[in-house]
Chains A and B, each alone.
Chain A
C-alpha cells in the first residue's frame, strides 16, 4: 500500500497497517523554519539554507530526507514549483540564521520591524522585532468605507493574498501550462497524496477585509450586507476553484478548504448563524471539489463541536486540525459521536502545550493514546494539531512521529 492509498483508505474509513501521516501537506501542518533548522541538526542531516515558503507563518519547506525519515504520506502541490535558485532570495530568520524566501515575498526593514507589501506596494504584514510571525497590518474595509463592488481590489491588499509557491510563477500567458506540467510532474514522481490548497475562505475573508471584530458585528447587525459580501466571495471562489480543478483536479487528491470557525471555548458564531450565512455556501464549494473526484477537507481551528453536524450535512469529507485541547474536542467523544460520518485529519498531538513544553516521554504517551482512539475504524489522518512552532524541541518532534507510526 503506497502513501496515496493509505490516505484515501482513511477517507473510506478503512484501517491500515499504520495510520497515514501528514506533515507539511498544507499550511497548518508544517513547521517553523527555526524549529526545522534545529530538527535537521538533531537528526544529523546536512546543513543547507532553509527555504521559508510561507512568509506569513515562517514555515519551512520540509525536504525529502525528513519526509522519508518520518514516512510522511502527503505532499503539497506547491512543492512542484519554485525549484530554481532564481525563485529564492536570501533573508535572515528572527533568530539570526540564514534562510531563503520566495523572491516575491522578500520582507523589508521599517521601524524596528520586518514588513511585507502587497502588489500595490502597501504594507500589509508586520513582524516587530521579538515576534516570530507576520501579522496583519492593514484591513481594507476597517480603514475605508466598505465597497463590495471593489471586492477584488480590496482582496489584493490583504496580507494573506501574498502567495506561497507557485503564486506568480503560474501567472501570465504561460501560467496554466506551467501549473499543469508541474502538477503532472509531481504526480508522476511521488506516490504521496497531493494536497491542493484552494481554501475558499468565507468567514476569514470577511474578517481579513472588515477586520475580525467588525465582520462578526456585521453578521449580527447587518445581515443583508453580510449575505451580499459572502455571496460575492462564494462566486469569486467558485470561479477560481472551477478553473483550478479543470487544470489540475486529476493530479490532486485532496482540496484543503479553510475557514476558522472556533475559539478555545466554542464556536465563534452560533449554529443558527452558521446555517444561515455559511453552510449553503460551503456546501456548494465542497460539492464542486467532490464532483471532480477530489476529497474535501476543511481546516477550521478551535472548538467546533457544535457545528460538526452541520459541516457533515454540508458534505464535508474531513475536518482539520481537530484541536483536542479545546473544551468538547476530546478525541474519544468526537470519535464516538461523529467518527462514522467524517474523517478526522489532525488531533494527533496537542500543540498548544504538550509539544512545546512536554517531555519526549509525555509526547510519546499522548500520541499513542490519540492514535489508538482516533484510528479505530479508519477515518483518521495523523497530524499534530497545528504548525510546529519555533520553540518546539526536536526531541519532541521525533518522539511524536515515531509514536504515530508505532
Chain B
C-alpha cells in the first residue's frame, strides 16, 4: 500500500509533520490503526534501527526519526485505544539513583515506543521503590541506565530491592549506559545488557520471549 510506504519513509527521513499527516490520511481511508502502527511506524523504526547499526545513520538522524514517529503516534494513540490494539508490553525505564544523565535513556525509550511497547518513563535519579511500584502496576520489563562508575552500583541495589519485594520473577530487568558491560549485567543478576538504543529494542524482545 503506497500510503504505508510513504508513512515509513516519512518516519525514516524524520519528517514529523508529514508522518502525522500520513497517519491522518490513513485513518481517513479507514486503514486500521493497528496496521498503521505495525506496518507504518514500527516497520519504519525497525529500518531506522537497522540503518543505525549499519553505520548509515548516526544519533541525530535516529533522533529526528524517533521524533517523527512520536508525532505520528500522538495522532494514532486515541484510535489504538478505541480499536483495542494492545501494546507489546509495558516497559518501565529510568536512570539509576544518583544519576541524572538521560540522553541515552530517552533515546532507548523512544526506540522502544516506536517498536510498539508502552513506556512508563520514571525519569532520572529513580529510587528502587519507584521501579517496584511500576512492576506492581504491570511493567513486564524494567530498564535502568547509569553513566557513572559511582552510580552504576545502585543498579545492583535496585535489583536486590526488587528481589526482596518478591517481584523478581515477575519482571525482566535490562541495563545500559556507558560504563556497563554484559559481564556486569551478569554479575548483578540483570537479564540483559544492550550497548545502544537499537540493540535495546532487540533485547527487550528477547527477554520477553525467554
Contacts and interface: CB of A to CB of B under 8 A. Distances in A.
Contact of B196 (A213, A265, A351): A265
Contact of B149 (A264, A267, A357): A357
Interface stretch (B34-42, B86-94, B97-105, B159-167): B97-105
B149 A269 contact: no
A400 B178 CA distance: 22
Contacts of B97: 130
A3 interface: no
For the complex of A and B, list the 7 residue pairs with the smallest distance between their C-beta atoms, beginning with the closest. A220-B60, A135-B100, A216-B60, A130-B98, A352-B179, A270-B58, A264-B178
Contacts of B59: 216, 263, 268-269
A273 B196 contact: no
Nearest to B124: A135
Contacts of A135: 100-101
15 contacts: A130-B98, A130-B125, A133-B148, A213-B63, A217-B64, A263-B59, A264-B195, A265-B196, A267-B58, A269-B59, A270-B57, A273-B60, A353-B179, A356-B149, A390-B150
A217 B60 CA distance: 5
A324 to B, nearest CB: 13
Interface string B49-70: 0000001011111011001000
Interface of A: 126, 128, 130-133, 135, 212-213, 216-217, 219-221, 263-270, 273, 351-353, 356-357, 389-391
B103 A220 contact: no
A133 B147 CA distance: 12
B58 A269 contact: yes
Given A265-B196, A352-B179, A220 B64 contact: yes
Interface of B: 14, 55, 57-61, 63-64, 67, 97-101, 103, 106-107, 125, 148-151, 178-179, 181, 195-196
A126 B99 CA distance: 12
A221 B58 contact: no
B98 A221 contact: no
B103 A273 contact: no
Contacts of B181: 353
Nearest to A129: B98
B98 A220 contact: no
B73 to A, nearest CB: 17
Given A268-B58, A273-B58, A389-B149, A221 B196 contact: no
A87 B183 CA distance: 47
B149 A353 contact: yes
B195 A219 contact: no
A220 B63 CA distance: 9
A221 B64 contact: yes
Given A264-B195, A273-B60, A389-B148, A213 B103 contact: yes
A174 B67 CA distance: 50
B18 to A, nearest CB: 12
B150 A391 contact: yes
B58 A217 contact: no
Nearest to B153: A391
Contact of B98 (A132, A265, A267, A351): A132
Contacts of B148: 132-133, 389
Contacts of B101: 135
B60 A219 contact: yes
Nearest to B61: A220
Nearest to B55: A266
B150 A221 contact: no
Contacts of B149: 351-353, 356-357, 389, 391
A265 B180 CA distance: 12
A275 B196 CA distance: 24
Contacts of A351: 149
Contacts of B55: 266
A307 to B, nearest CB: 11
Contacts of A267: 58
A351 B97 CA distance: 21
B129 to A, nearest CB: 14
Nearest to A268: B59
A170 to B, nearest CB: 32
B37 to A, nearest CB: 23
A268 B57 CA distance: 10
A266 B59 CA distance: 10
Contacts of B103: 212-213
A268 B103 CA distance: 12
Given A216-B59, A353-B149, A356-B149, A221 B14 contact: yes
Given A130-B97, A130-B98, A391-B150, A265 B58 contact: no
A357 B188 CA distance: 15
A268 B62 CA distance: 11
Contacts of A356: 149-150
Name the residue in A130, A216, A220, A351 with the highest tally of chain B Cβ atoms < 10 Å from its Cβ. A220
A58 to B, nearest CB: 11
A352 to B, nearest CB: 5
Contacts of A353: 149, 179, 181
Contact of B63 (A126, A131, A217): A217
Contacts of A128: 98, 100, 125
A221 B59 CA distance: 12
Contacts of B60: 216-217, 219-220, 268-269, 273
B58 A213 contact: no
Nearest to A207: B103
Given A212-B103, A220-B60, A390-B150, 18 more contacts: A130-B98, A132-B148, A213-B103, A217-B14, A217-B64, A220-B14, A220-B64, A221-B14, A265-B196, A266-B55, A268-B58, A269-B58, A269-B60, A273-B58, A352-B149, A353-B179, A389-B148, A391-B150
